[in-house]
Structure 1
Amino acid sequence: MPALPKFLAALLLTLNLSAYAADACPPNTPTPTPEQIAAAAANARDHGLLWRVSKGGRSAYLYGTVHVGKLDWALPGPALNKAWEDTDTLAVELDISDAQTIRALTQDAPKLAHPLDAATQARLDAQLRAACLPPQALAALHPLMQVSTLAMLAGRWDELDAGYAQEAMLLTRARAEERRVVALETAQEQLAALIPRDPKDVRRGIDDGLDQLEREQVRAPMLKLAQAWADSDLPLLQHYEDWCDCVHDEADRRYLHGLLEKRNPKMAERFVALHATGKRVLVAIGALHMIGPTGLPALLKKMGFTVERLVPAESP
């Protein structure tokens, strides 16, 4: 299954998952104590991917994130802290703290869905039970988004929690400090990337996602992606398509292209427009939007920006 949109992390935070914990359920991440938070902050190091981009005498930063995390990954390291201090605006894919955005995702998206047949609904209900969620916990979401959310929740078995996703943490910090937050996409644009227009492709995506959940094939690539991000392993991330177990035919390849590379030029254009206003911007979006010749750093370099990779550091 491809990397998942960031807004799903915010939606998961609205669920009281601890109410459904049981021996057969994925473990819930305990609330950290003040001492644990202090220790994590004292030992924080940089994770993910970070670039500085400059043009017109001003610099901005591009930070590649993932949709799940751990406490030890959640607090920013020195390079990301420096980027935060050097900027005044946080740019994200979607502002998942914005009520209108959440409303669009939970009210508009289900309208795009066709009713599921009884057999498929039964399979989906079974996965909700396996995740220890009540039957209606994800009912506000499009069925394809429900499957994606269940895939994300499977990360709990490996101590991967959407609440510790770096982009969500940065949004929380921005709101606390009353920092300007800008979305590089609209909810409608992200839904268009996530949900195919052809109902047959939607059904195929739901079936494939349920197959992977039933065969327990979701956790390994998710853990590999998260660990590659935590280790700032750029070469491994650059070959994501080779090991993600999400591209089995040309249809899968087209879907992944629409979910990742196809969205990058528009986000790059909106960043450039924002940079031109004089704002000092920290862009925090999915790490897979940053890699290769179609990633944001490469696109901005073609648009006249000087691009310097900070994490992992450039080789001499």
Structure 2
Amino acid sequence: MKARYVMIHLALRVMCVLFSGWLLLSCAGNAPRETSAPQSASAPQHFFWKVSDSNSSVWLLGSIHFADSSFYPLDSVIETAFANAEELAVEIDVSDDSVSSEIASESMQRGMMPAGKRLQDILPPEMWNSIDSICSAWGFPSMTLQVMRPWFAAMTLSAFAIQRAGIDPTLGVDAVLLDRAAHDGKAIVGLETASEQIGALADTTDSDSAGIFYLKSTLREVSELDSMVARIVRAWKTGDDALLRETMEGEKKYDEGTREKEFSDKLDEKVYKSRNVKIAERIAEFLSEDRNVFVVVGAAHLVLDEDNVVDLLRRRGLKVQRY
């Protein structure tokens, strides 16, 4: 189940916006024409593709949302393609103040319990006890979570775990390229809205059952954060699809016909498969409009075993070449 990568991916997104606000108060033109920089046959592959139709091309980079200074500068083939691009397309433009405000607003609107209800009241006692123990060990007030729906509590715990691990989201590949695009005067295009991103995990049904499943998964996985991050970083630096998929999948498997398998499949559908279709559609639009775009999305969207963005683009008859 890919909640392992989702935990970091979307928690970092919310962390960038919310941890500078109330959470901290609570808890501390024309497409490029064959401009590729050729590599030798022995050069390592990256999560980087050139997507072409009959007369134009766009570049597609798989990002991870956390990094350090050792990632930079990026490989010359990536740097050259970025320098030549006129537009940068990202999942969501968090550099836009209005988008950041919408993320905060959507999170508050969809992530809070109804008045008079507490998170503790809808969780199994043993799950709340685990949360309380983790919060105590971290010096994080568990009462902060009481007003949150399960999915938002999971995101908050994930974000705090990321912060404790010393991960700096401002050094994530997409964040760095966003800053550079703004500095260079490149147009920035958001592939999704804040509502779509938050909606990928938000469960506001009365039962909150899917959110409880996600929270349960998060509690199990925060203890593995350091090793998981290390494996994802190694996979990205070496272009290792198999390692990234293995890390995303984790060791937990769910039997067919069980509620957990149902929730796992629904989460994959919302977070990956349905979004992959939209991302592929937007890339195809850039090509049809002959736009000179450098596209950055989470690497997970590009290496799933089925229905990943790269495969969807190939099914459209587009030429997809990896670098």
TM-score (norm 2): 0.74
Alignment correspondent of 1:184: 191
Unaligned 5+ residue runs, structure 2? 25-42, 255-259
Which of 266, 289, 302 lines up with 2:278 in the alignment? 266
Residues 1:234 and 2:236 are matched in the alignment: no
Work out the CA distance in 2 between the residues paired with 1:165 and 1:146: 23
What SS is found at the alignment partner of 2:118?
Answer: coil
Residue equivalent to 1:31: none
Q: Does 1:12 align with 2:20?
A: no
Deviations 1:33-58 (A, max 9, x none): xxxxxxxxxxxx98850001111311
**CA 79–105 in structure 1, closer or farther in 2 if over 3 Å, else same:** same
- Per mean C-alpha deviation after superposition, the further-off stretch among 120-129 and 149-158 is 120-129
Question: Which secondary structure does the structure 2 equivalent of 1:219 belong to?
Answer: helix
> Does residue 1:303 correspond to 2:316, yes or no?
yes
Distance 1:122 1:105 in 2: 30
2:294 aligns to what?
282
1:201 and 2:210 correspond: yes
Aligned to 1:117: 119
Report SS of the residue matched to 1:51. Answer: strand
> Number of residue pairs matched?
283
- TM-score, scaled to structure 1: 0.75
SS for the counterpart of 2:94 is coil
The separation in 2 between residues aligned to 1:96 and 1:187, in whole angstroms, is 9
After TM superposition, give the deviation of residue 131 of structure 1 in Å: 4.9
- My pick for the range that moved more, 165-174 or 219-228, is 219-228
**Structure 1 residues 85, 110: CA separation in 2 closer, same or farther (over 3 Å shift)?**
same
Q: 1:141 to 1:53 in 2, by over 3 A?
A: farther
Question: Aligned residue for 2:179?
Answer: 172
Are 1:138 and 1:146, in contact at CA under 8 Å, matched by a contact in 2? yes
Q: Which structure is higher in helix share?
A: 2
- Match in the other structure for 2:35: none
Q: Cα deviations across residues 248-268 of structure 1 (Å, max 9, x unaligned)? A: 441223312321122101111
Partner SS, residue 218 of structure 1: helix
CA distance in 2, matches of 1:92, 1:188: 15
Q: Secondary structure at the match of 2:67?
A: coil
Q: 2:76 aligns with which of 78, 95, 114?
A: 78
Partners in 2 of 1:173 and 1:232 — Cα distance?
Answer: 23
Instruction: Provide the C-alpha distance between the structure 2 equivalents of 1:271 and 1:253, rounded to a whole number of angstroms.
Output: 26
Of the two, which has the highest radius of gyration?
Answer: 2
Unpaired runs of 5+ residues, structure 1, are 21-44, 311-316
Following superposition, the deviation at residue 142 of structure 1 comes to 6.4
Letter of the 1:234 partner, please give it. Answer: D
Aligned in 2, Cα 1:203/1:173: closer, same or farther, shift over 3 Å? Answer: same
- Give me the whole-angstrom Cα distance separating, in 2, the residues matched to 1:275 and 1:230: 28
Query: What value does the CA root-mean-square deviation take over the aligned residues?
Result: 3.5
Maintained 8 Å contact 1:74/1:165 = no
Q: 1:152 to 1:16 in 2, by over 3 A?
A: closer
Amino acid aligned to 1:225: I
- State the distance in 1 between where 2:46 and 2:156 align: 22
Shift of 1:289: 0.3
Do the aligned partners of 1:91 and 1:181 also contact (CA within 8 Å) in 2?
Answer: yes
- Which of 61, 65, 68 is the aligned partner of 1:67? 65
Do 1:47 and 1:229's aligned partners in 2 also have CA atoms closer than 8 Å?
no
For 1:195-223, what per-residue CA distance to the aligned partner results, in whole angstroms no more than 9, with x for missing partners?
A: 2354121123223323443xx23333233
1:129 is displaced (CA, Å) by 6.2
Question: Matched residue of 1:304: which SS?
Answer: coil
Structure 1 letter corresponding to 2:67: G
